[in-house]
Amino acid sequence: MREFGEMFGIPKFLRLGAREWNGRARGIHGASESATPDRGQKKKTLLQFLSDHFRDVQALREYLLQKQLSKSNWKNRSFANIREKYGPDVTGALFILKHGGAVKFQDKEWIRANERGSFPTEFLNFREVPVEAVDASGCTINYQGMSNLLPLKKLRSLSLERCPHVDDWCLGRLHLLAHSLQELSLAGCPQVSERGLACLHHLQNLRRLDISDLPAVSHPGLTQILVEEMLPHCEVLGTEWAQDLKLEPDRQPQDASSPISP
Amino acid sequence: MFRRVLRLGLTPGRQNRGLRTRRGGFTLDWDAKVSDVKQKIECMMPGKQWGMPFDTSYLPPTQSDVVIIGGGILGLSVAFWLKKLESRRGAIRVLVVEQDHTFFFSQYSRASSTGPSVGGIWQQFSVPENVQLSRFSINFLRNINEHLAVVDAPLVDLRFSPSGCLLLASEKDAATLESNVNMQRQEGAKVCLMSPEQLRNKFPWINVEGVALASYGMEDEGWFDAWSLFEGLRRKVQSMGVLLYQGEVTRFITSSSQMETTSGEQVVLKRIHKVHVKINKSLEYQPVECSVVINAAGAWSGKVAELAGIGKGLPGTLQGTKLPVEPRKRYVHLWHCPQGPGLETPLVADINGVYFRREGLGSNYLGGCSPTEEEEPDPTNLEVDHDFFQNKVWPHLIQRVPSFKTLKVKSAWAGYYDYNTFDQNGVVGPHPLVVNMYFATGFSGHGLQHSPGIGRAVAEMVLEGEFKTIDMSPFFFNRFYLEEKLQEYRIL
Ligand SMILES: Cc1cc2nc3c(=O)[nH]c(=O)nc-3n(C[C@H](O)[C@H](O)[C@H](O)COP(=O)(O)OP(=O)(O)OC[C@H]3O[C@@H](n4cnc5c(N)ncnc54)[C@H](O)[C@@H]3O)c2cc1C
């Protein structure tokens, strides 16, 4: 998007012309810029059209970019009214299932959506049963969407594998699960870096952490050592483990074709 | 349009402060139109980038609705919000004047304090408005690419480290810290209080001697790359049509009018009509007609205010009240210490003002301390005094973190705080007498983190005549005259 003011900035030859003119006219300021010839007005229509038209094209591109950026926010909106009615666990489960993930209520089987995106809904009656495991692999959950997971007070195991929008800001919120969380997988998250991993020290009950295949981490080996030091009671799966699995095709990080990922 | 605004603005009084522009009466400048189209065609060509490097081979424009003095993080943020909140695209022309010729190209500018900053962001302030600013800013930073994305340009990566900030308090300050934390929580900050016992459990490397209470930000605190934010803002404002010009503001042309207050007092109201911009490496200057001037000159904003006659009057009067912002030199040292605290290290601010944080992964840390009033170093140069670290910082570091005994200093630099000598807090909003000069300065060590919120507040004041998002009226200039301090419990 280019705007009116910026026109001052570009064509050098025109500005230089103006400069000379100004130099001579110094002292009689005020008369300077208002001296726009009025007769030029009529023959400007073509230029006017081009200018307006091009601006529209640019505005459209800008708009589309914004649209792309805010689309995932809509998908990740907070389910606050559902939470009021059904409680945090059912809400969290519903959110994950809608995103194509899987949930496990305590002493129940895993629930997962089928290919057409539908899932059994009897869990809506599990109001008193807490969710103990969430598999959100590959889901487009982002910072906002995390709000639907964080109230799961009994969540023991969380997999965020290959989630394209999970970033360091999201990891900064996981401390809310510190009391219960024992297993966490961040494998293959394209936006998670060592900066986010550093704040996992809040998760003192963590027993197993998977940080393999993180392309945004600058020194995977060193990072793993530092994370192990930081979480002495936790088994950290990192680089070597990822190398063993390189052969498995479905472990390859998905190409995140989102506008938000770097 | 410009004349209309000027005329509109000339009537004194609060309601008319807002700069509203409307459509119509807009004389189209032929030359400008041609160039506009040309430039657009150029931009549509493949291989052309939006963010063209800016050129200094011409003079600044002779007119601009708003002139922003200072192209630091605050100046750019004000420019961004002015363009973002303008009623219609292209409604107002914004010119940013920056004196430092290295500035728009490199982060190692001599004069600016944006480059050398530590990049910290925290919510643990004692003035509620500062907490609100932090909350606003963190939301802005989190969604940075929704604000600053430019078509065809790479996304902004702020490299935010959500490692939190840990404030330590002695017996004497414990009660203050506790009431501050309660206020911060009310504002929505996720801050927790820790006893020395809890602190020792959480961070075994800390020696808790002398600590009575600690507060620790669990979320939305840490540090980020100031330069990425600066670059992102610069690129965005250029794409929005803001003109960045390199030159120094040396003079204001003002008119004055005698006014009587409701209580019958005589006051002289001034209005700036032209800003003289001295061309770099030349004696030439260009007068720029404008209706609003933003003073975002950082550590030099006191000097810029003086140029407009602020503070030139009898002491004790409003006219004689200076803008109490001046440069204060602050050092940052970077050290290496393999035995140091490790990956979980937050930004720690000790009882006595010494602070440090982790830097990267290679066992590097950086930190420093504000000197006492008597020890203030000479601000005319940016040399680093290594004895200061040796004698005033290191002993305290060892006291708090014994493993820092083995540290080796790797590098050091100095920068200027835009230091408000009155109460170390920011100054925002218009001057009561120079009615079209607005301030965005004096944040003394937390201007970077608050820049998104400050920019918005100033833009709202200019465009709407009142604050809409955060009520920043406690930051008005008037407090210097009324001698009402807006004191922070501790500044880093
Ligand atoms: C060592 C250090 C550490 C810091 N750490 C932090 C931190 O952790 N967190 C945080 O939030 N903040 C921090 N800060 C503070 C922060 O850097 C500043 O508050 C912030 O950069 C101020 O931005 P600014 O735009 O007001 O000033 P600047 O970036 O200084 O911009 C002002 C500009 O105005 C220009 N100028 C001055 N006079 C004129 C004139 N007459 N004409 C034209 N141009 C002029 C100057 O050249 C300068 O570039 C730190 C600062 C320092 C020095």
Mutate to test the interface with A, among B23, B27, B37, B345 (most CBs of A within 10 A): B37
- The complex's ipTM works out to 0.82
Q: List the structure tokens of B268.
A: 């002289």
User: What is the reported pLDDT for B102?
Assistant: 62
Q: What is residue B50's predicted lDDT score, i.e. its pLDDT? A: 38
Q: Which residues on neighbouring strands pair with residue B277, listed in sequence order?
A: B249, B286
> Does the beta carbon of B332 sit less than 6 angstroms from any atom of ligand 1?
yes
Report helix, strand or coil for A36.
coil
The pLDDT value given to residue A121: 83
Q: Which of A83-87, B293-297, B478-482 has the lowest mean pLDDT?
A: A83-87
The mean per-residue pLDDT over the stretch B375-395 comes to: 92
For atom 50 of ligand 1, the residue with the nearest CA is: B117
Chain Cα centroid distance, residue B224: 15
CA distance A214 to chain B (A): 15
Chain A nearest CA to B372, separation (Å): 33
Q: Is the pLDDT of residue A249 over 50?
A: no
> For the residues B339-355, what does the mean pLDDT come to?
94
Q: Is B298 in the pocket of ligand 1 (CB under 6 A)?
A: yes
Mean pLDDT, residues B313-317: 88
pLDDT of residue A75: 81
- Average pLDDT value for residue range B429-449: 94
Ligand 1 centre to CA of B423 (Å) is 18
CA neighbor of A3 nearest in space, from B76, B79, B210: B79
Residues A125, A111: Cα–Cα separation, whole Å: 14
Check CB contact under 8 Å for A3 and B38: no
pLDDT digits (tens, 9 = 90+) for B176-201: 999 999 999 999 999 999 999 999 99
Over residues B357-379, the mean pLDDT reads 91
> Which residues on chain A are in Cβ contact (under 8 Å) with B201?
none
Sign of the alpha-carbon dihedral angle for A210, A215, A221, A224: negative
Relative orientation angle of helices B447-464 and B73-85, to the nearest 10 degrees: 40
Read off the pLDDT of residues A216-243 as tens digits, 9 standing for 90 and up: 999 999 999 999 999 999 999 987 644 4
Is the pLDDT at A22 greater than 80? The verdict is: no
Q: Cβ contact (<8 Å) for A230 and B33?
A: no
Question: Cα–Cα distance between B199 and A124 in angstroms, integer?
Answer: 42
Is 70 exceeded by the pLDDT of residue B41? Answer: no
What does the block give as tokens for A141? 């959950």
Residues of chain A found within 8 Å of residue B154, distances taken between Cβ atoms = 262
Q: Which H/E stretch holds residue B464? A: helix B447-464
**Is the pLDDT at B389 greater than 80, yes or no?**
yes
What residue type is A52 in one-letter code?
D
Report d(CA B170, CA B368) in Å as an integer.
19
Q: How far is CA B415 from CA A135, B118, B305, B480, in A?
A: 48, 10, 21, 26
Determine the pLDDT at residue B185.
Answer: 97
Do B52 and A10 count as a contact with CB atoms less than 8 A apart? yes
For residue B32, pLDDT beyond 70: no
Q: Which of A182-191, B147-156, B307-316 has the highest mean pLDDT?
A: A182-191
The closest of B332, B379, B371 to B491, measured between CA atoms, is B371
What are the helix (H) ranges across B190-309? 196-202, 226-239, 301-307
CA of B302 to the centre of ligand 1 (A): 13
Task: Please indicate whether residue B449, judged by its CB atom, sits closer than 6 Å to ligand 1.
Answer: yes
Q: Ligand 1 in contact with B447 (CB < 6 A)?
A: yes
Ligand 1: does its nearest atom lie under 6 Å from the Cβ of B245? no
Note the helical H segments in chain A: 12-25, 45-75, 80-86, 88-98, 168-171, 194-197, 220-230, 239-245
* pLDDT value, residue A51: 61
Q: Is the CB of B294 under 6 A from ligand 1?
A: no
Q: What is the pLDDT of residue A26?
A: 35
Provide the shortest C-alpha distance from residue A122 to chain B (in Å): 36
Question: What radius of gyration, in Å, describes the C-alpha atoms of chain B?
Answer: 23
Residue nearest to atom 49 of ligand 1 (CA): B112
Question: Is the distance from the beta carbon of residue B221 to the nearest atom of ligand 1 less than 6 Å?
Answer: no
Cβ-Cβ pairs closer than 8 A, A with B, add up to 194
Calculate what percentage of chain A has a pLDDT beyond 90.
50
Q: Give the count of alpha carbons within 13 A of B438, CB side only.
A: 33
CA separation, residue A173 to residues B86, B164, B220 (Å): 35, 11, 9
Contact between chains at B38 and A11 (C-beta distance less than 8 A)? yes
Rounded distance from Cα B422 to ligand 1 centre (Å): 18
Q: Residue A251 class from Cβ within 10 Å (0-12 exposed, 13-18 middle, 19+ buried)?
A: middle
Q: Which domains, ranges and CATH numbers included, belong to chain A?
A: 77-239 (3.80.10.10)
pLDDT value, residue B306: 96
Q: For ligand 1, atom 21, which residue shows the shortest CA distance?
A: B114
Nearest CA to ligand 1 atom 30: B112
